[in-house]
Amino acid sequence: MSDRRIRILLAKPGLDGHDRGARVLARCFRDAGFEVIYTGCHQTPEQIASAAVQEDVDVVGLSCLSGAHKYLFPQVAKLLQDEGAGDIMVIGGGIIPDQDMQALYEAGLKAIFTPGATLDSLVEWINTNVKPRA
Amino acid sequence: MKELGKKVLAGDIRAASRLIRNLEDQIPETNIAMREIFAHTGNSHVIGITGAPGAGKSTLTDELIDAYRKKDKTVGVLAVDPTSPFTGGALLGDRIRMLRHAEDKGVFVRSLATRGAMGGISKAVGEGIHVMDVLKKDKIIVETVGVGQQEVEIINHAHTVIVVLVPGMGDEIQALKAGLMEIADIFVINKADRDGAGKLYKETLNMVKMSKDMGDNGSWTIPVLLVENVLEPNKFAESVKALSDKIDEHYQYLVDNNLLSERMRRKTAAEVNEALWGNILQPVLSDLHSQGEMEKMVDKVLSRQTDPYTLAEEIASRYIKKQA
């Protein structure tokens, strides 16, 4: 009786200690039936990519409120590619200005959520777009 | 999928992590990969760390990884946290204490959810240990969920069991109780700078002495180690280094006294049991579920048309053909 569960790694890259939002998401995803690996603040893209591979997650969710998303988010996506783990989806959230969106999508981000996004909309996005890999 | 076993044997982290996931998800073909790797297992020293929620298991594990890396040992960690009985989801937060090792190729940390298992670990832990073993990790640390008195399944998997105690959890009668307090090869009294640590230390020593007088544990005297003040990094590192020395001493004791095979036998028996369970009961349950019969049976029992015992007998006689 196989039982695939969606696994998500949540991380806050860079110099940013504001993780209330990320904690709320961790709890929300837990309640949605996902397995959430919560890794907290102050991480390098290298640490995040390495953890994502070790944990065999389907999705990496990055939160950034510091303004450094244009470097940090693409870097995580690139490192995953380099490790042959480009199939792990990277999504992001935080204070992201509209004019940065295009560049992030081009760098491989699959979705960006900004203030005002509802918890339900995130869970729905994941349930629609993420199929636990066989 | 087919190549998973070979890739793991070649040291591929991605494949290893996938294999552990397939074990967790109980993907039937996982047996193929496990068969391939099984012959290459049995070389690592498996260390179990257990204790109450918030006792400091993850923080100790983090420092222990450091101590072993300084001894030039590679380390695998299987860290278990609970699955929600309501939603099936889980928040796996042990890794947050071990971030500094994320880029060290000699360390592989994997978080697991219990998925309904009640013994303090998850069903995939036993086989997850084999996967880490094949990756040539010298030390494999299994961190259980925060446990109470009774979740002792770690003894089926670890060669050396560390029970982490903290002050303020009860009087000396608690120390005499069966269960968790019986399984330690080493006791750690963590947060030993807190009130009540001295009393707990004495009580634990007394308990250990009593066990010794009653002839338990052979010639191994269970050490009781004090670990204090995580806020003073050097002091903390020093006491965890001492813990790692004790752990190694225990391993040597097992080897010198031919006790390692006894422990491995316990694990092997549990594994055979598990495999039989998986091959005999699991297909029956799957069948009953997919036919929708499980629901009907529950309804019948709920409305008192029958009882679980009669039902089980009926099902058994339908599926099991007794050999003459």
Spatial distance between the Cα atoms of B179 and B182, rounded to a whole number of angstroms: 6
Q: Which fold has domain A7-129?
A: Rossmann fold (3.40.50)
With beta carbons less than 8 A apart as the criterion, state whether B121 and B80 touch.
Answer: yes
Contact B14 A83 (CB under 8 A): yes
B111 contact residues in A (CB cutoff 8 A)? 37, 55
Strand, coil or helix: B105: coil
CA A11 to chain centre: 7
Contact B87 A32 (CB under 8 A): yes
Is residue A30 pLDDT above 70, yes or no?
A: yes
A55 contact residues in B (CB cutoff 8 A)? 17, 95, 110-111
A4 burial via Cβ count (<10 Å: 0-12, 13-18, 19+): middle
Would an 8 Å CB–CB cutoff place B198 in contact with chain A? no
Of B26, B95, B103, Cβ closest to residue A37 = B95
pLDDT at site B323: 66
CA B51 to chain centre: 11
B95 contact residues in A (CB cutoff 8 A)? 37-39, 51, 55
Contact A38 B92 (CB under 8 A): yes
pLDDT at site B45: 97
Distance from A134 to chain B by nearest Cα, in Å?
A: 8
Would an 8 Å CB–CB cutoff place B289 in contact with chain A? yes
Distance from A92 to chain B by nearest Cα, in Å?
A: 19
Spatial distance between the Cα atoms of B17 and B8, rounded to a whole number of angstroms: 9
Would an 8 Å CB–CB cutoff place B2 in contact with chain A? no
Would an 8 Å CB–CB cutoff place B215 in contact with chain A? no
Of A33, A56, A84, Cβ closest to residue B88 = A33
Chains A and B form CB pairs within 8 A to the count of: 97
CA-nearest of B79, B137, B127, B129 to B104 is B137
B103 contact residues in A (CB cutoff 8 A)? 44, 46-47, 50
Contact B13 A31 (CB under 8 A): no
pLDDT at site B31: 86
Tell me the percentage of chain B whose pLDDT exceeds 90.
Answer: 67
pLDDT digit string (tens) for B256-314? 998 988 888 888 888 898 888 888 888 898 899 988 999 999 999 999 999 999 999 99
Contact A30 B20 (CB under 8 A): no
A44 contact residues in B (CB cutoff 8 A)? 103
pLDDT at site B265: 87
Query: Backbone phi, then psi, for A86, in 5-degree steps?
Result: -65, -15
DSSP secondary structure string for all residues of B127-165: HHHHHHHHTT-SEEEEEEEE--SS--GGGGT-SEEEEEE
pLDDT at site B1: 53
Give the CA count within 13 Å in the CB-facing half-sphere of B127.
Answer: 28
B13 contact residues in A (CB cutoff 8 A)? 53-54
How confident is the prediction for chain B on average, in pLDDT? 91
- Window from A68-77, B65-74, B147-156 with minimum mean pLDDT: B147-156
pLDDT at site A104: 97
Q: What is the mean pLDDT of residues A63-80?
A: 95
The interface predicted TM-score (ipTM) is 0.92
Tell me the percentage of chain B whose pLDDT exceeds 70.
Answer: 98
Q: Rounded to a whole number, what is the largest CA-CA distance in chain B?
A: 68
Distance from B60 to chain A by nearest Cα, in Å?
A: 17
Domain spans of chain A? Answer: 7-129
Spatial distance between the Cα atoms of B308 and A25, rounded to a whole number of angstroms: 41
Chain A positions touching chain B (beta carbons under 8 Å): 1-5, 7, 26-27, 29-40, 43-44, 46-48, 50-51, 53-56, 83-85, 132, 134
Which residues share a beta bridge with A90? A60, A109
Q: What is the mean pLDDT of residues A82-97?
A: 94
Distance from B21 to chain A by nearest Cα, in Å?
A: 7
pLDDT digit string (tens) for A31-63? 999 999 999 999 999 999 999 999 999 999 999
B87 contact residues in A (CB cutoff 8 A)? 30-33
Q: What is the mean pLDDT of residues B218-225?
A: 91
With beta carbons less than 8 A apart as the criterion, state whether B50 and B154 touch.
Answer: yes
